[in-house]
Amino acid sequence: MANNGMTRDPYRAKRMRVYFRFSMIGVVLVVFFAAGAFLLGGKSDPIDYSKSSFVQYETPEDSAPVVVFETTEGTFKAVLYEKEAPEYCKFFEDLVNKGYFNDTYACTMLRTGGVTGGFIAGSKTTDGTATEDTERDMINVEISPNLLPTKGSIGSLTKEGGRFSKPKAGSVFTVLSDVVDVAEMRKSIDADSDVNGASRVCDLFEKYGGVPNFLQMYTLFAQVYDGWDTLDKIFSAKIVDENAPDDKEDRNLQPDHEIKFTKVYMSTYGEQKQNGFNIPLKQGDVKVNITTSSSTDSQ
């Protein structure tokens, strides 16, 4: 903890710009999968996505936990995946139930070349500076082969743990948008040897969009399914240094107006399914209603 209880999280803005920039110019899938294996604790075998159930695209059961985000831009809702990230979901739900996220802010937009890859939120301040009220507990990163960083996925921003320790996930979270270049992703796949379900992953990014490189940084734990107009409104917010070059070292990535989470609370899908379970398609404005089996049925 810094003196006077005030600190600027050092892993936030600069490193986010670097990872985001890499995501913009394409992803080498071999590295993509290997990074997931590293975060799982240094295992030698990469994640095999050919066997993944990808639960975030399946209609949840009525009992599934849902977090409702009421913001100054509108309301959006997300399903939490307790089986995929059990420790972090417990940590997050406890904070929600304590009212921790009420009156917190979207503090950083992930903006490169005029394109938004998402936003960082859950900060007690508009600029991401920690205060005496900031939750400082950190949870080991949990990587699930059943969740991908496609559009609307929510993950905890993580802090590097050092050479011999795992990264940690904290209270600050990120909601991802879409910057993926699927053509670049596919270039790295050998058509004759689809390693670890790479083409299947590409198919999902092609369908839904997303930010592939962020698998290396996040505990993914939730998926937005309702309130896309609100989410897109936040994604389109201008930043303070809107006209500054992307490589400006101290470019201010704060939204140019306050985006506040006025109330964040837990519910269930059964109570929050009035508009159905909808995931937007990457191309066009058409939305599809996912009618596949529930996540528990597919396990």
* pLDDT tens-digit map of 109-158: 988 888 899 999 999 999 888 888 988 888 888 989 999 999 999 998 77
Is residue 28, in this structure, part of any structural domain at all?
A: yes
Is residue 217, in this structure, part of any structural domain at all?
A: yes
Determine contact, residues 225/166, Cβ cutoff 8 Å: no
- Residue bearing the bigger pLDDT, 213 or 52: 52
For the stretch 1-20, pLDDT in tens is: 334 434 444 334 444 443 44
Write the CATH number for 194. Answer: 2.40.100.10
Domain around 56 = 7-298
Is residue 58, in this structure, part of any structural domain at all?
A: yes
Is residue 130, in this structure, part of any structural domain at all?
A: yes
The pLDDT score that the predictor gives to residue 298 is 34
Is residue 2, in this structure, part of any structural domain at all?
A: no
Is residue 1, in this structure, part of any structural domain at all?
A: no
Cβ neighbourhood burial of 35 (10 Å; 0-12, 13-18, 19+): middle
Domain total in the chain: 1
Is residue 292, in this structure, part of any structural domain at all?
A: yes
